[in-house]
Structures are given as C-alpha cells and as structure tokens.
Structure 1
Amino acid sequence: MSKKRKIINWTFVGLMSALFIMSAIMKLMAGADAEIAVNFVKWGLEGKLMLIGMGELIAAILFLIPRTSSLGVLLLSAHLGGAIATHMEHGEMFIPQAVMLLLVWVANYLRNPEMLSSFFQKDTN
C-alpha cells in the first residue's frame, strides 16, 4: 500500500472511529433527562443505553485496531443495522445511519481490499 493511501486510510478510519467513540461516550455519560435517554425510552429501549453504549465503544475500538478491524466492521454493521431498523420502525429518518454504515465498509475496504475477495473468486466446480 502506498504511503498516500495509508495516510488517507488512517485518516478515514480514525475519523469514523472517533465518531463512534464520541457517540458511545455520550450514551455512557447521559443522564436520565438527556435527550438521547428520552429517545431511548420513546423507542422502547429504556434501560439499554449503557449496554448499547458499551457495545458501540467496543466495536469502535475493534474497528480502529487493524488486527481486529474485521470483527469491528461486523459489530458496527450490527449496531447500525439495529439503529436503522429502530428509526424505520418509528417513522424517523434513517439515512444518516445508512450512510455511516456505508462509510464503515468503505473505510475497511480501503484498509483491507481483500475483504470482498470471496465475491470475486471464480467457482472451480
């Protein structure tokens, strides 16, 4: 991988990870009257803020570390899939979560292009 591509990749992965880490910290530090806590109650997820925040934090850290980035992508995909489904269920806009999901996959593809290699292998049967 060229030096320029590495810099672009680390910048992109770093920004995405920072976004998820900040989001997780906001969830973990939110009080009962915080807007996010009120939204979680509205979505039927009362009492799940800490659990979801910890899951998001762990997924973001795994995504940031190159050796564990594949697991991080899977966990962030599950997290964002849940966010998309929740927003759709309540008639809310889900496009930002879908864009973030796409960006997670693009960031990991830039770091690890062989992640999609199984889609492009010729069948030997």
Structure 2
Amino acid sequence: MLQINKTWVTATMAVTYFLLAFSVVTKLLFVPYIAVKFEVLGIAAYGRLFGLVALVAFLLYLHPRTIGLGFVLLCSYFGGAIATDMHTPQYLYQPVIVLTLVFLTTYLRKPFIFSDKLAAVHKTCCTVVAWQRESK
C-alpha cells in the first residue's frame, strides 16, 4: 500500500477544495473574466446555470457518503469543460488542472472508488454497485 504523509494529503485536499469553490463562486457571480470566456464560447446565457451545477457536484463531493456521486458529476462537468475549451487553448489548462486534482484527491480520500473489486449487482428493482466477494 502506498504510504503518503498526512500533511501532503491535507494540502492536496485544501488546494482542490479551494479551486472548486473558486470555480463555483466565479460562475455564480458571473465575474467579468467568466463572462468574457462564456461569451467567446457562445454560452453566456447559461453561466449561472453552470455555476449551480458545479455547486451541487461540489457539495456532493465534500460529503464522505456521496463522494462517489460528486466525483462522477465533477468528472463529467470538467470533462465537458475540457471538450468545450478544445478550440480555445488559452482556457484549456484550468479544467485540466482542476480535474487532475479532483482525481488525486479522490484517490487520497477514498482509494476503494478505483478498486477493481467493485461490481454491478443486478437486483429486481435496480442495479447496485457492491464489493465482489473473494472466491475461495
């Protein structure tokens, strides 16, 4: 098992949370930098909506019981930002850095999310993700 100093884990989490919170606040307040960026991309009318989506994903990501759902939503959100920013490379580095930090922080907080022991279990009502049992 990989041993990492707790100080590094705390610092990585703090930087990630700060960048996510900063991203949410700038989109909700629709600061001029974000307004110009969204105007270039042609999505200025949806700026605050993107902020609300990011806020929901961030809040789910903060809570230990919903980190998996928050992680998936943040990956989708920043993946979409990367895909959208492909034609304007000056904006591309921001979502790439934040998404990389989200992956790293998720691994440091809950490494089992990336485990190959997770499997979809099909029930009569729904599909549930659960741990696979070790075969004897």
With the length of structure 2 as denominator, give the TM-score of the two structures. Answer: 0.72
CA distance in 2, matches of 1:75, 1:114: 18
Equivalent in the alignment of 1:82: 80
CA distance in 2, matches of 1:102, 1:79: 13
Unmatched tracts of structure 1, length 5 or more: none
More helix by share: 1
CA contact (8 A) 1:17 1:61 kept: no
The superposition leaves residues 60-97 of structure 1 with CA deviations (integer Å, 9 ceiling, x where unpaired) of: 11111111111111111111111111110334452332
CA contact (8 A) 1:13 1:64 kept: no
Unmatched tracts of structure 2, length 5 or more: 119-131
Amino acid at match of 1:102: T
Equivalent in the alignment of 1:22: 22
CA contact (8 A) 1:59 1:75 kept: yes
Larger CA Rg, structure 1 vs 2: 2
CA distance in 2, matches of 1:63, 1:10: 16
SS at match of 1:118: coil
Distance 1:37 1:96, change over 3 A: closer
**TM-align CA RMSD:** 2.5
Give the paired residue count.
Answer: 117
> Quick one: higher RCO (CA 8 Å, sep 6+), 1 or 2?
1
Amino acid at match of 1:19: L
More strand by share: 2
